[in-house]
Amino acid sequence: MKNPMFMRLIRYLVVIPLKVLGGVLLVAVVLASIPYALCPVYDFPVITPFSGNVLYNPYSSINDSLPNGKWLKANFHAHSVAWRGLAHGNSSLPALSNSYKRLGYDVAAVSNYHRMDTLPDFSEYFISSYEHGYNVRKAHQICIGAKDVVWTDYVFGHWMQQKQHNIKRLKDVTPVVALAHPIWQGAYSPESVRFLTDYDAMEVFNHFRESLELFDSAWSAGRTAWAMGADDSHDVQGVGENGVCWTMIYAAKPHRDSILQALRQGRCYAVKLNSLLRERWKDLGSGLVRDSCLNAVNDCRLETLSVQGDSITLTMTGNVVLVRFIGQSGIVRNAISGKNVTGYRFRPYDTYIRAEILSPNTTIVLNPVVRTADGSLPQASASVNAVKTALWVLLWLIVYGGLAFVLVRRYFRAKNVEKNAVKKC
């Protein structure tokens, strides 16, 4: 025979708490699903590789047409202590600021999660930056020059529609949106960047990962995604975190408008220390590439990249170990060793060509020279499909309605059972 006191104890200590917990979880899941229900459905532009007889060169203005232009060293992705230590960041703002000042940066910003802070040493030409995203797959974006913080996200993860919607929302209040560590945890796949539009850049170099596969996938599909490098530092004392990846930007001065314009137009390139790329260059031998800890040292820089007809000429300063010209689908079209001045002539099958330069201390990734019809770079943009969006919302309303029906039905059934039990007593 069951003990009434024991059963009552089980009810109050186990059954009721589990029911309450289940109810709370159900409410949380429903609330978190609402953004998915309201997400627009997009039509993505057809994948069209670049084509035409006129080559577009993002570095054309560095030759002579940008008055007082110079190369500036920049980082837009680093973290300090924020949100009372709840966010991942172990350094104070002054310590982080002093680190980048000491390493010779011209432009530096702190990109705390959903929060715009200022680095003291770089406050004169303040450029806002923050990292957007708190979803399980780490599909984050760096918002450079943002006017406001966008708080909404899709916490369970992103599919194509949610990725595109986030980018669209961010671009409404952000001049430059860059995909942060895009390859990390599969946040963005090579297939997804072939379709996504409206973002400006991606971190091809990050102290965690490199995302050159995604970079080539986007450009091979006719999508514009300028190359950036960023530390993603979380601790100034951390080995291999500060001054290991950076972006070189060609602008007149480290002013907000000049920097943002240069990033939007692709007058930038990404740099990463070879000490973080040992596996990539191990076949070259220890005599050519340093296993260096010389953080943020530019031992090689872009001087000019010119286009004449179907040929490009690249001139680098410093000690060049290797130059690789890479085209459609990330295929290496040519490799030249030990020359500061190199060139490449476009073949009929080349839709774009980008240069990757190895120096003893760094690896440099330039933005591509691409084929165009008239010399202007085409810009693809996804558009909302109103009919599919309406059907999507209707489907979710049916799901919510079905869930409500089940809950109401269970409630009244429990009430009836309780009434019958009372009558029997």
Asked whether residue 378 is assigned to any structural domain, the reply reads yes
What pLDDT is recorded for position 63?
67
Q: Is residue 202 part of a domain?
A: yes
Instruction: Looking at the structure, tell me whether residues 181 and 292 fall in a common domain.
Output: yes
Please tell me whether residues 23 and 142 are part of one structural domain. no
Backbone angles phi, psi at 212, to 5 degrees: -65, -30
Total domain count, the chain:
2
Residue 178, domain member (yes or no)? yes
Is residue 64 very low, low, confident or very high in pLDDT (cuts 50, 70, 90)? low
Kindly state whether residues 124 and 66 are assigned to the same domain.
yes
Q: Residue 388: what pLDDT?
A: 97
Same domain, 211 and 310: yes
pLDDT for 110-146, tens place per residue?
Answer: 999 999 999 999 999 999 999 999 998 899 999 999 9
Q: What is the pLDDT of residue 25?
A: 84
Tell me the whole-structure pTM to 2 decimals: 0.90
Q: pLDDT tens-digit profile of 89-116?
A: 888 999 999 999 999 999 999 999 999 9
Same domain, 367 and 342: yes
Amino acid 203: pLDDT? 98
> Residue 49: inside a domain, yes or no?
no
Q: Residue 17 pLDDT more than 80? A: no
Would 270 be classed as within a structural domain?
Answer: yes
Same domain, 251 and 398: no
CA 391 to chain centre: 31
Q: Are residues 212 and 76 part of one domain?
A: yes
Q: Is residue 257 part of a domain?
A: yes
pLDDT one-digit tens code per residue, 343-375:
999 999 999 999 999 999 999 999 999 999 999
Confirm whether 100 is domain-assigned: yes
Same domain, residue pair 369 and 281: yes
Cα–Cα dist 294/243, whole Å? 9
- Sorting pLDDT into bands at 50, 70 and 90, what band is 424? low
Range of the domain at 328: 54-383
Average pLDDT of the segment spanning 231-253: 91
Structure confidence at residue 84 (pLDDT): 79
